[in-house]
Structure 1
Amino acid sequence: MPPFRRDLVVVGASAGGVEALRTMMSALPPDFPGALLVVMHLAAGTQSALARILDRAGPLPARPARHGTPIEPGTVYVALPDRHLLTEDGALVLTRGPTENGHRPAINATFRSAALTGGPKVIGVVLSGVLDDGAAGLRAIVDRGGAAVVQDPDDALYGGMPQNALAAVDTEHVVRAGELGALLDKLVRMPVEPSAVPPPAEMLLLEDRIARESVRAGAFPPAEHDGSGYTCPDCQGGLTEVDPEGRYRCRIGHAWSAQALFAAHDDEFRFALEKALRALDEKAGLARKLAAQFSGSRPGGLADRYATSAREAAEAAETLRRFLLDATGPFGEETASS
């Protein structure tokens, strides 16, 4: 078999990734011979301006991804809010498969799809972001013979995603954002000698199928394999551990890494405490009002009881408020949504 070139570049970014993407785009030449698929975590129901931003950032045209669009070289396709961006037969596929790490679009879904359809012709790029979306997908790309590029964690505004990507794969291509354009242009033009690529793992095929069409009867491991003891934050169903690296899926198909699951439960815990704080503040306020209403009653009567309740609720609220103001997660600001 003759040498080939890697002509599909899939890029994942999250918090702090817009500047890295703009810098990368500005350094790509107008005759860049590959196609780029860009996935950034976007909230459902929002309007994304990312395609317009990237279109202005460099010479290559950037456009929102559209279902069924043929993938053309020299073009940048940007994932839409609330849709996974996948590939099939040289075209884009948009789906509403289950969220992964709370996100749709999810970087892992795009990377997995590219690994399956493009194999060794794919380059995966992980940029700034928190937590670890993209790490498992980048591993799939490398396992299928593709190449991995990671933004230098020290250069990223949020180093979590690059650090986790580097923990998942070995790659010599760890560069600052300002070097990404030149490196990618070099990699897509470099002839690659064919080599044997192992067949895709069954779990890779299953997870790609879930992203495309959700879970059908019999598609997911039977119930006797469930029981990680953890609960899906999206649907409250039980989670199954799908690999020893600490990744989980529920019967609906929602996917979580251990890090993302930890952060989601941390958010739930904080929300519960904030709800309790509001309840205590309101209880103290109502008790003070009732104490004033019964202020003319006999000593030891309703006025005193409500005044005591107001004082106890206010003290508990102040203790909880101090805890919420002082508490930080184990990753500091990186426990926030990526």
Structure 2
Amino acid sequence: MAGITYGVTEAQNRSMRGVVAIGGSAGGVEAFTRVAAGLPADLPYAVLMALHLPAQSPSVLAQIIDRAGPMPAEAATDGARLQAGRIYVAVPGHHLMTYDHRIVLSSGPSENGHRPALNALFRSVAVAFGPDAVGVLMSGVLDDGVLGLAAIRSRGGTTLCQSPDDALFAAMPRNALRADVVDAAVSAAEVGAFLAELADSTRDRRAPSHDERLELENRIAMSERLADGSDVEKLGPPSGFTCPDCNGSLQMVTEGYFRCHVGHAWTADALLSARDQETRSALMVAVRSLQEKSRLAHRLADGAVSAAVRVRYTALATETDKALEVLKDWLANAETETGVAGTDD
């Protein structure tokens, strides 16, 4: 990556077999602690862990992971050299990535509305470590991380996911299994044993493929938040859709995967979820507007100076109340179907 001149000697990296990238979302803290408890202290991998975190909130995830098992864990710092037998935990507001055996904390464009994003992490280790990269997708909703696992496999690496029946939220690992980008599904407690066995094995490696789009997307994620639109245009044709983050046009990278000119990335499921969020927000504004209209119409009916005026405002109040009930019922049903009871940034 331009501007980074880190160098690592052969002796420094001799004990490191590769890098394990572990990502999760909802239910991820519980999954991460169980993984950490089972990681052997002498594991010959550096471990990167990323959880979807609100950008402005403090995080004690590194301390939680550090107490959970024998391998020491720390909050990731930009430029730190990766070492085997250590866990580096993502911090809020930054993609956790790697380049030249160093950590890169990037404020690049969000992906699926997240920074840190799991696809950015997995893609980064795929580009940097190829066959020596391992991706592990844990509990979560929607499908962030699935494309990243595909990137690791395309470069000859190994991919795992948490067994759906072991995850608090099974959608994320289940989507990875449906996409056929996973080599094995294991429980969180079994991840450490799998990695130890992998490190000792002489497995047949896949022949890595070369995809220039993968490297371009990796550069975009490592860039500043405003990417060069001309670079994004190289990824695919206009999709006809707009980005929920910036309202810019989205290019279709592949079927069901999009990037805007700023660089924000969206899978189809995440884009649909963002549109649902927009719809709910707009309808909540409509509910508040109808509530005020109803109160005003009732007040005007009560204070009417003539029967004709009273009839007019009473009819308007009745019509507004009916519309309000229909809208409230629709919102209640939509929240029940999607499992969303409120909004989160």
Same fold flag (TM > 0.5): yes
- Spell out the pairing of 1:219-258 with structure 2 (5 A cutoff): 219-221=231-233, 226-244=237-255, 246-258=256-268
Indicate if the aligned counterparts of 1:5 and 1:121 stay in contact, CA closer than 8 A.
no
**Paired amino acid for 1:285:** R
- Spell out the pairing of 1:16-31 with structure 2 (5 A cutoff): 16-31=27-42
Post-superposition offset of 1:181? 1.9
Change (3 A) 1:218 1:37: same
> Which is worse superposed, 144-153 or 307-316?
307-316
Give the secondary structure class of the aligned counterpart of 1:218. helix
Post-superposition offset of 1:101? 0.3
C-alpha distance after superposition, 1:173-211 (max 9, x if no partner): 211122112112222333446664333x11101110110
The ranges of structure 1 where at least 4 consecutive aligned residues each deviate by more than 4 angstroms after the TM superposition are 192-196, 328-338
* Alignment correspondent of 1:307: 314
- Aligned equivalents of 1:194 and 1:328: distance in 2? 46
- Aligned equivalents of 2:206 and 2:319: distance in 1? 72
Indicate if the aligned counterparts of 1:6 and 1:120 stay in contact, CA closer than 8 A.
no
Change (3 A) 1:65 1:71: same
Are 1:272 and 2:279 matched, yes or no?
Answer: no
* Alignment correspondent of 2:4: none
Give the secondary structure class of the aligned counterpart of 2:160. strand
C-alpha distance after superposition, 1:255-274 (max 9, x if no partner): 00001001111111111111
Are 1:69 and 2:80 matched, yes or no?
Answer: yes
- Spell out the pairing of 1:161-180 with structure 2 (5 A cutoff): 161-180=172-191
Post-superposition offset of 1:5? 7.5
Change (3 A) 1:194 1:247: closer
Change (3 A) 1:337 1:13: farther
- Spell out the pairing of 1:25-174 with structure 2 (5 A cutoff): 25-174=36-185
- Aligned equivalents of 2:238 and 2:155: distance in 1? 31
- Aligned equivalents of 2:338 and 2:316: distance in 1? 38
Give the secondary structure class of the aligned counterpart of 2:43. coil
Give the secondary structure class of the aligned counterpart of 2:169. coil
* Alignment correspondent of 1:318: 325
The equivalent position to 1:218 in structure 2, one of 225, 230, 235, is 230
- Aligned equivalents of 2:213 and 2:290: distance in 1? 48
- Aligned equivalents of 2:149 and 2:161: distance in 1? 10
Structure 1 residue runs of 5 or longer lacking an equivalent are none
Change (3 A) 1:211 1:260: same
Indicate if the aligned counterparts of 1:5 and 1:190 stay in contact, CA closer than 8 A.
no
- Aligned equivalents of 1:184 and 1:7: distance in 2? 11
Are 1:290 and 2:297 matched, yes or no?
Answer: no
- Aligned equivalents of 1:137 and 1:300: distance in 2? 67
C-alpha distance after superposition, 1:213-232 (max 9, x if no partner): 15225312269x64312111
- Aligned equivalents of 2:161 and 2:306: distance in 1? 74
- Aligned equivalents of 2:284 and 2:317: distance in 1? 19
- Aligned equivalents of 2:177 and 2:189: distance in 1? 19
- Aligned equivalents of 2:323 and 2:266: distance in 1? 35
Post-superposition offset of 1:330? 6.1
Supply the RMSD in Å over aligned alpha carbons: 2.3
Change (3 A) 1:133 1:171: closer
- Aligned equivalents of 1:35 and 1:319: distance in 2? 55
Aligned length: 329
Give the secondary structure class of the aligned counterpart of 2:240. coil
Change (3 A) 1:67 1:15: same
C-alpha distance after superposition, 1:261-316 (max 9, x if no partner): 01111111111111111111111112222223x33x12202x33222222221121
Indicate if the aligned counterparts of 1:160 and 1:334 stay in contact, CA closer than 8 A.
no
